[in-house]
Amino acid sequence: MTYLVAEAKTPSNFVSEKIPQAERDAFDFSRHRLYTPLGGARWPTDRWVVDKERRVALVGGGTNGNYAADEDIATTFWETLLVEGLSVGVIYKRAADLLEGKDPVTGRRHVIKNLSDTYLYLPAALYARKDEVIALLEEAYFVDAGGPQRPWIRGAKVDLTAARLDTEYGHSKHGV
């Protein structure tokens, strides 16, 4: 699947904003997790991309540290997609698919932002809705990447390597 802005029936309802303190305080770390390379019961950031109507939010979690330091080593990113109060782990590498054409104002080549080599860790209650979760992730990532403000970003897609139950996360290694 791919979220393409040109094919979207309506504009996305996702917005980037500061996470309200009430949401941060209400998050129950004994029942849910926020996926970060360091783990722990804390919010890794103070911003999210959220669609309040659908009760979905994308929260950044961090990297394995190679992004700025190691040019030839792929960087792994951790994020959490909150869907109706449930946490989905999203571990991926960044990429972009180049498209024909350029933005006439900036001259930037058209791209589709790509979450490559993606692992999803889904709670059992969402596992059967995996395709819906991926579609929500693609839309949220498009907004997170600045797609609505950057006309050269034409969409976002998830290249899924594996979808696993969240109970398997503790046994997985992702570049840490």
Residue 2, domain member (yes or no): no
DSSP for 30-97, written as a single string = TT-----SS-SSS-S-SEEEEETTTTEEEEEEEE-SHHHH-TTSPPPEEEEEEETTEEEEEEEEEEEE
pTM: 0.93
Match 């979220």 to its residue by tokens: 3
Q: pLDDT tens digits for 57-101? A: 999 998 887 655 666 677 899 999 999 999 999 999 998 999 999
- Return d(Cα 135, Cα 142) in angstroms, integer: 11
Region 4-9 average pLDDT? 91
Residue 3, domain member (yes or no): no
Region 95-123 average pLDDT? 94
Residue 140, domain member (yes or no): yes
**Per-residue 3-state assignment (H helix, E strand, C coil) for 107-152:** CCEEEEEEEEEEEEEECHHHHCCHHHHHHHHHHHHHHHCCCCCCCC
Domain range for 90 is 15-64+74-166
Q: Which of 75, 37, 58 lies closest to 133, judged by CA?
A: 58
Residue 148, domain member (yes or no): yes
Residue 176, domain member (yes or no): no
Residue 175, domain member (yes or no): no
Confidence label for 142 from pLDDT (cuts 50, 70 and 90): very high
Count up the domains in the chain and report the number: 1
Please check whether residue 99 is in contact with residue 118, taking contact to mean a CB–CB distance below 8 angstroms: no
Tokens of 124: 């059992």
